Amino acid sequence: MFQATHGRRVWPLLMAALMAVHTARAQDPVVDLPSAASAAAEGFSPVRLQRLDDSLERATGPEGYLGAVALIVRDGKVITVQAHGSHDLARSRPMTEDAIFRIYSMTKPITSVAVLQLMEQGKLGLDDPVSRYLPAFKHMQRFAGGTADKPVLVPAQRPITLRQLLTHTAGFATGGEGFEEATRLLERADLHDSPDLATFASRLAAVPLATEPGTRFKYDGTGIEVLARVVEVVSGESFEAYVRGHILAPLRMRDTGFSVPEAARGRVVDLTRMGADGRLGLDDSRSARQPGVSLNAYPSGAGGLYSTISDYARFCQMLLAGGALDDQRILGRKTVDLMMMNHLQGQLDPPVTEFSRAEGFGLGGSVILDVAGRGRLGSVGAFGWSGAASTYFTIDRQERLIAILLLQHLPDGQAHDLPRLATPFYNLVYQALEP
């Protein structure tokens, strides 16, 4: 009788305690940055911010993207972070703010930071020839005519520099009109089947260039993989270990890596592409079939990382704050300035990318040169990039803000595909700023 009475008294207290713990955990911020007291206090209109939420709810409706997570940070404070839609193709699990995404080319700015850290230590220079660290690149050939089966080759007149690798101007045969035969030679090298970065670099060094280094911007990950190998040679560490020890760990980017631990793989979002029938389906890549596995056999500096919106916000905030976050200095302030300058100036005429005459390119991302010409709201000098599976970020030092949008869909550019969200996303972010 005593035990039954005791149980009836303790049970409500136990339940209350458990509810209190649950409530406390639910209120813990998902993003590891301070929260703004209010959007209005940081110069954003709450009414206008609602437009962003409404737009992403529509975009992740039954006929749209599976799901999305969006974030805005200003002056180091989280203005908003919202999850929309679903995590999985069955649309049975709501998207969560701690979801893990394949960020693909949003890996490139992190690789660029690794290179710049070594520059700050005096271990390399931006205009050093890559052959100083990887001798196989010393005597490069250039494709001058013929076919892939019978190429006409001539010696390259310029050495490839680290700056050219960072800015996609090294001259590799990575596609483009008029470079089809040279590109076939590159494809035959089977670079992405390399077991490690050393093999990737050695295979690439044997392929003729399409153009003289420093004469054409052609975006691709090829040169960034070479940079990852340079990091290994110069630092004496594997690229994965270097990135983890010198960038991810100091920034407390706990959910970022080249693979995802087994215990966290349920948080990896399904990766989709549009089928010929106009319906979303899972991509056929290994990472889509086995979420969380390494995207390549080697740690890809061009596109190999998984991450969360919280982790990537910490990386962006470090750059926005001039290279440091929470007493951890990753880069010097002037190095961040250098990273966000247009390095096509002095290399190309006009100094713009292949994508827009209104944007140049820094060390790891684009730089807005002309807001009107770019065709979306923003600021001159804003720095950012995107990933292949519809992930986007911008760092706007003029407005002291960061905006990130993460989805997991591989667009195919066809008329029946889902509409791209970058321009409407940035427009909705900036239209919410108050005077």
Residue pLDDT, tens place only, 229-238 = 999 999 999 9
Q: Is the pLDDT of residue 85 over 80?
A: yes
CB 148 within 8 A of CB 181: yes
With H, G, I as helix, E, B as strand and everything else as coil, classify residue 101: strand
For residue 415, name the pLDDT band (cuts at 50, 70, 90): confident
Overall average pLDDT of the 112-138 stretch: 98
Angle at Cα 184 formed by Cα 182 and Cα 188, nearest 5°? 125
pLDDT interval class at 414 (50, 70, 90): confident
Check pLDDT > 80 for residue 14.
no
Is pLDDT above 80 for 260? yes
Residue with token string 């100036």: 345
Pairing of strands 324-325, 151-155: unpaired
Element of type H or E holding 78: strand 77-85
What is the mean pLDDT of the segment spanning 46-73?
97
**Residue 105 pLDDT greater than 70, yes or no:** yes
Going by the DSSP 8-state scheme, the letter that residue 387 receives in this structure is E
Mean of the per-residue pLDDT values of the chain: 93
Amino acid 103: pLDDT:
98
> Residues 189, 192, 197, 198: what is their CA dihedral angle, to the nearest 10 degrees?
-20
For 10, phi then psi, to 5°, come to: -75, -35
pLDDT computed for residue 28 by the predictor = 53
**What's the pLDDT at 29?**
67
Output the six-digit token pair for 24.
Answer: 């406390």
Q: How confident is the model at residue 377 (pLDDT cuts 50, 70, 90)?
A: very high
Distance CA 236, CA 6 (A): 64
Q: Cα angle at 382 between 379 and 386, to 5 degrees?
A: 125
Q: What is the mean pLDDT of residues 22-47?
A: 79
Residue 425 has pLDDT above 50, yes or no: yes
- Please report the domains of the chain, with CATH numbers, ordered by start residue: 40-103+259-293+308-430 (3.40.710.10), 125-235 (1.20.58)
Cis amide linkage into residue 350, ω under 30° from 0: yes
- Percent of the chain residues past pLDDT 90, beyond the cut: 91
Q: What is the C-alpha to C-alpha distance for residues 161 and 254, in angstroms, rounded to an integer? A: 33
Residue 20 has what pLDDT?
Answer: 38
pLDDT band at residue 78 using 50, 70 and 90 as cut-offs: very high
42 by Cβ neighbours in 10 Å (0-12 / 13-18 / 19+) ranks as: buried
Interval 294-343: pLDDT, tens = 999 999 999 999 999 999 999 999 999 999 999 999 999 999 999 999 99
Which amino acid, 306? Y
Provide the pLDDT confidence category of residue 15 given band limits of 50, 70 and 90. Answer: very low
Contacts 24+ apart (CB under 8 A), 146-152: 146/181, 147/181, 148/181, 148/182, 148/184, 148/185, 148/188, 151/181, 151/182, 151/185, 151/208
Q: Looking at the predicted structure, is the pLDDT value of residue 67 above 80?
A: yes
Alpha helices in 38-146 (DSSP H): 46-59, 108-120
Give residue 23's pLDDT. Answer: 35
**pLDDT: is 364 or 25 the higher one?**
364
For residue 260 the two structure tokens come to: 């995802």
Tell me the pLDDT tens digit for each residue of 190-218.
Answer: 999 999 999 999 999 999 999 999 999 99
User: For residues 211 and 144, what is the distance between their CA atoms, to the nearest angstrom?
Assistant: 9
pTM over 0.75? The answer is yes
